[in-house]
Amino acid sequence: MKFSAEQIAGIINGTIEGNPSVVVNTLSKIEEGANGSLSFLANPKYEEHIYRTDSSICIVNNTFQPSNPLPVSLTLIKVDDAYACFAKLLEFYDTLQKEEPRIEPNAFIDDTAKIGDNIYVGASSYIGKNSIIGNDVAIHPNVTIGPNVTVGDGTIIYPGATVYRDCVIGKNCVIHSGAVIGADGFGFAPNEKGEFKKIPQIGNVVLEDYVDIGANSTIDRATMGSTIIRRGAKIDNLVQIGHNVEVGSNTAMAAQTGIAGSTKVGNNVLIGGQVGLAGHLKIGDRVRIAAQSGVGGNIKDDQKMMGSPAFDSEDYKKSYLGFRRLPMILKRLKELEDKLKELTKDK
């Protein structure tokens, strides 16, 4: 689909410097710009690229003043916040890629399921008994939705994802390929022979509205009650969330994070990649946990944590400086010991 600079400026309320009739049909990074593409410049670190880009249109901040001649073929659209406006265009572009409402061949929908308006169900997808699918939902090919599942309006479930029985998916959620929502929690109890006996997991998973779940992430159902991911939480790829965990609103965690059962994570928490949280913990609001940290205790509101075991990030940095100098310190200690022996050997 093609858009002119004039049309784009109208969408983002921008001011055009250059040819208002120039047309673009794709988006690109400014350093990879080509004829017919739309780029943006927000970070001054990338300014050098605007002077040799082949992009046809570039969105820039109102404060941008070129320090070198711009390409003759380049049209600028000036806005208050170039990054935010480009993100708005990406969102607009993404909506244009939305599948047309239809049910493709080989999709199975149980007769007892309730299906909303304007939905897309891809080939070989399965919707189980008594499930409720809202309006404007997109269920891509090879998705499995078990019995008694609720999927809210506007949610997108990408190919190969699985939602087990009784789970609740809110409105405008995104579940990426390979994600598993509602598999059994890791509940086993050893008997007198030392053999593990499975504890039935009879709860469910609840995703509130505007939750994103990354590819191949897994969220286990509760033993009883619910594993809950609160409104606006963002879960990256390859994340494991155990049974009866609660993740607060607008909390985000990066790939390969693992959260053990019954831990409660607060609101607006940021968790780096490969972080491990032990079970039955309470993580406060607005906590920051650096990548590869191992958390074995409760964390109060607003703390910044780092390390394994994790502790205050500023203390960690000071400790790490000492740790890096440890070989030198040990060498100096050995020299002092040798000198002391030399001074005392005749006494």
pTM of the model: 0.81
CATH code for the domain in which residue 74 is found: 3.40.1390.10
CATH code for the domain in which residue 142 is found: 2.160.10.10
| Dihedral angle of Cα 170, 301, 265, 272, to the nearest 10 degrees | 100
181 and 160, same structural domain?
Answer: yes
Domain annotation covers residue 329: no
Domain annotation covers residue 326: no
CB of 246 closer than 8 Å to CB of 228 = yes
pLDDT in tens, 151-191: 999 999 999 999 999 999 999 999 999 999 999 999 999 99
160 and 304, same structural domain?
Answer: yes
Q: For residue 295, name the pLDDT band (cuts at 50, 70, 90).
A: very high
Domain annotation covers residue 70: yes
Domain annotation covers residue 343: no
Q: Number of structural domains, the chain?
A: 2
pLDDT in tens, 216-272: 999 999 999 999 999 999 999 999 999 999 999 999 999 999 999 999 999 999 999
DSSP 8-state secondary structure symbol assigned to residue 244: T
Higher pLDDT, 313 or 306: 306
115 and 89, same structural domain?
Answer: no
155 and 89, same structural domain?
Answer: no
> What residues are labeled active site?
243
81 and 193, same structural domain?
Answer: no
Structural domain harbouring 28: 3-96
140 and 66, same structural domain?
Answer: no
Query: Looking at residue 96, what is its pLDDT?
Result: 77
pLDDT in tens, 61-77: 999 999 999 999 999 99
Measure the CA–CA gap between 228 and 282, rounded to whole angstroms.
14
